[in-house]
Amino acid sequence: MCQDCGCGDVNLVPLELQTRILARNDDVAAHNRAHFRERGIFAINLMGSPGSGKTAVLEATARALRDGRNLAALAGDLATDNDAVRLERAGIRSRAITTGQACHLDAEMVHHELHHLDLTGIEYLFIENVGNLVCPAVYDLGQNVNVVALAVTEGEDKPLKYPTMFAKADLVLLTKMDLLPHLPNTNIAAIDDALARVMPEPRIIRFSAQERTGVVGWIEWLTSCRAALAGEMVGA
């Protein structure tokens, strides 16, 4: 209470903080990132709508490399470990993160699951996020790059509807390209145009897991990103 005049008003003191609300998540993400760096692992946060083809991208990646021995994955889903089972079958060492009601992965979930994943000999860790174009973009997991799978079936203006996700993307994999002949109202140039309005440096690889197109470019991109990171570490 105000002590000056006895008016009964509450004496309020502002406390300036200017702290990041998700600072705790960001701290754990930094810990994950340091862990990956020590082991020479390049971590990819693979995001996209449910059904955009994230798991199929990883299966195609393992096929192209003949075996997935240097690949590992954490697959996030609300329920079931179906994706992790599919990835294991493709030869990728995998663990499921079943989130229950949570619509995204956070750094702590990834950290926890890393304790159960043998990372010996692993060069690339894919974190397949929960299918969702909103919430996963908010949480840093400790990844080195963000990749978004966007299926051509999702509509030309999808990037404009979900700008936050695409603003954070380092690469967009335009998936299910083999379906394009069946989509008379979908124009690829319109998707490129939309992406250039939400991504400052739009990098897009046209991809079809079915027809195995775009896989070589995708693997080259991953390899060059990992090499660039290793170069930075040597230079540091």
Instruction: List contacts with other proteins (CB under 8 A).
Output: 10-25, 102-104, 106, 134-135, 137-139, 163-165, 167, 196-201
Contact (CB, 8 A) for 175 and 47: no
Residue 162 Cβ vs other proteins, minimum distance, rounded to whole Å: 9
Q: How many CB atoms lie within 10 A of CB 99?
A: 17
Alpha carbon 121 to chain centroid distance? 22
Closest to other proteins by CB, 21 vs 234, is: 21
Closest to other proteins by CB, 21 vs 236, is: 21
Sign of the Cα pseudo-torsion (80, 215, 63, 139, in order)? negative
Say how many Å lie between the first and final Cα of the chain, rounded.
55
Residue 1 Cβ vs other proteins, minimum distance, rounded to whole Å: 8
Closest to other proteins by CB, 60 vs 147, is: 147
Closest to other proteins by CB, 134 vs 216, is: 134
Residue 28 Cβ vs other proteins, minimum distance, rounded to whole Å: 12
Closest to other proteins by CB, 87 vs 191, is: 191
Residue 103 Cβ vs other proteins, minimum distance, rounded to whole Å: 6
Q: How many CB atoms lie within 10 A of CB 19?
A: 7
Quote the CA–CA distance of 79 and 106 in Å, as a whole number: 16
Beginning with the edge strand found earlier in the chain, give each strand of the sheet holding 124-128 in spatial order: 93-98, 71-77, 124-128, 42-48, 145-151, 171-175, 204-206
Residue 201 Cβ vs other proteins, minimum distance, rounded to whole Å: 5
